[in-house]
Amino acid sequence: MLIDAHHHLWRIARNDYGWLTPDEGFLYRDYVPEHFKPILDAHDIARAVVIQAAPSLAETEFLLSLTDAHPYLGAVVGWVDFADRNTPQTLDQFSAHPKFRGVRPMIQDIAEDTWMLREELSGTFVALAERGLSFDALIQPRHLATLIELVSRYPSLRVAINHCGKPEVRAWQVGNADFNAWQAGMTELARHPNVFCKLSALPTRAAPGWTAETFSPYVDVLLTAFGPTRLMWASDWPILERNGRYDDWFHVARALLPESTHADVFGATAKSFYRIDQVCPRAVA
């Protein structure tokens, strides 16, 4: 079964996205399941994981409601307030829904690079680990050292690094200091067996006109570090369309990976990590 491990859906009228303004051009319109399902069908993709795009509890409720009418939505990664003492109870409420699998704070938009390590957030990280829920890490290269510290603190926390850690493909030269630091950070994170990585967003991190050759060094690093059973392909649709087409990214990614890895990277890893089509255990201590 093929799975797209990361995409977004939104309705402009909900008005809690913040970042989504008319300045975003073609993205400033509704993106709903009816727009996305034909794209998946064209590539024989059976399930997709929908990820929060707004920092609100209402966003999580909205995404969960979409799964009720659209079975192809295999899992929801929502949002909670990590600093709220009531968040463990909120997680329990969301976990009553069979498609709720985890949360994602919008770390890349937080000015404090070490925000993840704040003491007042520890209760939420512990609650996620106890409940077997995942933490989607929306980081940039500047956050690598902090995330390494975080996963050391919470060794049972299930972590999915979003978008390859967002390397600056358009600006870096392979083998320079920035590339090497990213490679070292991702390799260190991969030493933790609870940390997974999404092969996504390389097109939007690259200059226009990218090819398979553009991404080959990055894919090699990630496949070597995480292996196919902890690497999962994702489109990041519709953000992807800022600098690429679904079809092109899907086929380039498949061409870059050995055929022997396809079953895992394009399906089995995401199915296992997000427990798609499974009952999610609620192992509350």
Q: Which of 207, 208, 232, 209 is nearest to 219 (CA)?
A: 232
Asked whether the predicted pLDDT for residue 11 surpasses 80, the reply is yes
Asked whether the predicted pLDDT for residue 285 surpasses 90, the reply is no
pLDDT for res 280: 64
If you search the block for the tokens 């690079």, which residue do you land on? Answer: 113
CB 196 within 8 A of CB 230: yes
pLDDT for res 281: 57
Report pLDDT digits (tens) over 51-74: 999 999 999 999 999 999 999 999
| CA 2 – CA 20 distance, rounded (Å) | 30
Where exactly are the structural domains of the chain?
2-273
Hey, is 205 helix, strand or coil?
Answer: helix
Asked whether the predicted pLDDT for residue 284 surpasses 50, the reply is no
Structure token pair of residue 38: 């034909």
Asked whether the predicted pLDDT for residue 107 surpasses 80, the reply is yes
pLDDT for res 279: 72
pLDDT for res 85: 96
pLDDT band at 283; cut points 50, 70, 90: very low
Count Cβ atoms below 10 Å from residue 156 Cβ, excluding itself.
12
Report pLDDT digits (tens) over 224-240: 999 999 999 999 999 99
Angle between helices 177-190 and 144-153 (to 10 degrees): 10
Q: Do strands 73-78 and 100-103 pair parallel, antiparallel, or not at all (unpaired)?
A: parallel
CATH 3.40.50.300 fits 2-273, yes or no: no
Report pLDDT digits (tens) over 207-223: 999 999 999 999 999 99
Q: Which of 177, 124, 178 is nearest to 150 (CA)?
A: 124
pLDDT for res 83: 97
Count Cβ atoms below 10 Å from residue 44 Cβ, excluding itself.
8
pLDDT for res 278: 87
> Mean pLDDT throughout 98-107?
98
> Mean pLDDT throughout 267-279?
95
Structure token pair of residue 62: 């909205």
Report pLDDT digits (tens) over 151-178: 999 999 999 999 999 999 999 999 899 9
Structure token pair of residue 143: 């956050």
Q: Which residues pair with 135 in a beta bridge?
A: 103, 159
Averaged pLDDT of the chain: 96
Q: In angstroms, how far is CA 18 from the centroid of its own chain?
A: 19
